Amino acid sequence: MKKSLVILILLITTLFLISCSPAPSDLPPSSDALTPSQVSTPQQLKEITKEPTTQTPPPSLPSSPAATQPAKEIIPEPTNPTPPPVTTPLPTSTPPTQKMKPSNLSAQVRTTPPTLPPPIPITAFDQFTGSTIDTTKYNTQLTGNSSIHQNDKILMQGNSNNGISWASVYTTKIYNLQNDYNLSADINLSASVETGSAHAVLGLETLSILTEGKNPERNYCELQLSRDDKILRMSKTIRHLEPNTPLSGTLSIYLNKNIGKLSCTFNNQTITQYQEPQSGEYYGALRSGINSVSDGGGIETTGTGNYEATFDNFFIKQN
């Protein structure tokens, strides 16, 4: 169809050009036919020789839609033209906030040294539930005529029928006197004493003192009951209690290593003493017994009488 249309237009254009051409009679005579009489002057001769080169060309056809369409029809256009790809301009720079923001999956770089957690305190608390002493936590030691039982609390009993009497329960865990420590227990002491005194003791003691059944030397807080007196005492400090004071309550001992101060408290009554740090291994101890000790704690001998003491809610903490 397109080819036929092009041929038709070309035919019409050819016919139009032929019709507009001048007749042979109108053309100027050829230079061969000119005679000297016809060329009278050099000017006329010049005009005659130039006329073929200056002949006016036939007027061109006016521009019309029909005449311009064939140029478009010669080059067929594709049926499904592909649009040119759209190119998105890349940003010339990245905002500073995007550069500084780390990826969620990127490794975090620590810029400051880590803060170490405080040391975990060595803490123990026991209510002595049941009727069996936990031998993974405690050892026991008996001296003279004494006994130890557990029945939801620790019960120690003894008398002086076989000389000095001590009953001891002490921890398998080792403590020291270089750091702060805090011990407490609920204690009840009763006794019938003729000579000497009965004791209920809480403290940190050496293994030799515990296993040999000796009077405590230092780092202890003690309730002492004699025939005529009730005493709250430490190795260097004592306080006489009122005669009607019940020997039942919470006994505690605390060391503040910064000032070297050791405190012993029973039912809100406190005594203190200064004590230098000491090396060695120490064990948390609960003890009860009966003996007779000379003034100043020099010599330990046999007392006369019997005693009974209970211990419960045993607490130890050392930083």
0.85 exceeded by the pTM?
no
136-157: per-residue pLDDT in tens? 999 999 999 999 999 999 999 9
CA distance 150 to 134: 10
Q: What is the mean pLDDT of the chain?
A: 78
Q: Rounded to an integer, what distance in angstroms lies between the CA atom of residue 44 and that of residue 108?
A: 104
pLDDT in tens, 241-274: 999 999 999 999 999 999 999 999 999 999 999 9
When pLDDT is cut at 50, 70 and 90, the band that residue 87 belongs to is low
Q: How is residue 152 written in tokens? A: 């939801």
Would you state the structure tokens that stand for residue 291, as one six-digit string? Answer: 């003996």
Cα separation of 318 and 63, whole Å? 111
Question: What residues contact residue 101 under an 8 Å CB cut-off, 6+ apart?
Answer: none
Tell me the CA distances in angstroms from 98 to 50, 93, 103, one per residue in order. Answer: 81, 10, 10
Q: Is 318 exposed, middle or buried (0-12, 13-18, 19+ CB in 10 A)?
A: buried
Reported confidence tier of residue 37, pLDDT bands at 50, 70, 90: very low
Structure tokens at 230: 């009730």
Phi/psi zone of residue 196: left (φ > 0), alpha (ψ -120 to 50 degrees), beta? Answer: left
User: What Å distances lie between residue 146 and 9, 189, 206, 232, CA to CA?
Assistant: 140, 15, 21, 23
Please report, for residues 99, 103, 109, 209, the alpha-carbon distance to residue 106 in angstroms, rounded to integers and kept in the order given: 13, 5, 9, 61
Hey, what CATH class is 122-292+302-318 in? mainly beta
Instruction: For the chain, give every domain's residue range.
Output: 122-292+302-318
Q: Which residue has the higher pLDDT, 223 or 102?
A: 223
**Most confident residue range from 40-54, 62-76, 169-183:** 169-183
In 3-state terms, what secondary structure has residue 42?
helix
